[in-house]
Homo-oligomer: A and B are copies of this chain.
């Protein structure tokens, strides 16, 4: 576990790039972070905006994000209960990265989908 000056091999399972993929490479994490990039949000808001997510996955995703110091959870002692989730400073730094991703998707995903259709049309299943 020593933090010596490692040589950088993104294809080594123990390198940060890989750890990041393991961290955000699931169906929901980046979507939840994306919503929180617009500002703090309540549990209900998140459930609504991340279309299709189940309560279980939302809780799970949020808890993992909190564990990793990317999101803070603030619960108010009220009735009915109110809980607000918010990106930490570290979490905020993900925003520009996600924006890049979004920009790419917007520009290139249609082409990808077309290529996929062409491929499927010309290939024998």
Whether A99 pairs with B37 at a CB distance below 8 angstroms is no
Q: Which residue of B lies closest to A118 (CB)?
A: B69
Whether B113 pairs with A19 at a CB distance below 8 angstroms is yes
Query: How long is the Cα–Cα vector from A108 to B93 in the complex, in angstroms?
Result: 9
Whether B93 pairs with A50 at a CB distance below 8 angstroms is no
Query: How long is the Cα–Cα vector from A109 to B21 in the complex, in angstroms?
Result: 11
Residues of B within 8 A of A18 (CB): 31
Does A7 reach chain B (CB closer than 8 Å)? no
Residues of B within 8 A of A112 (CB): 19, 23, 68-70, 90
B-contact bits for A5-42, CB 8 A (1 contact / 0 none): 00010111100111111110111001100110110000
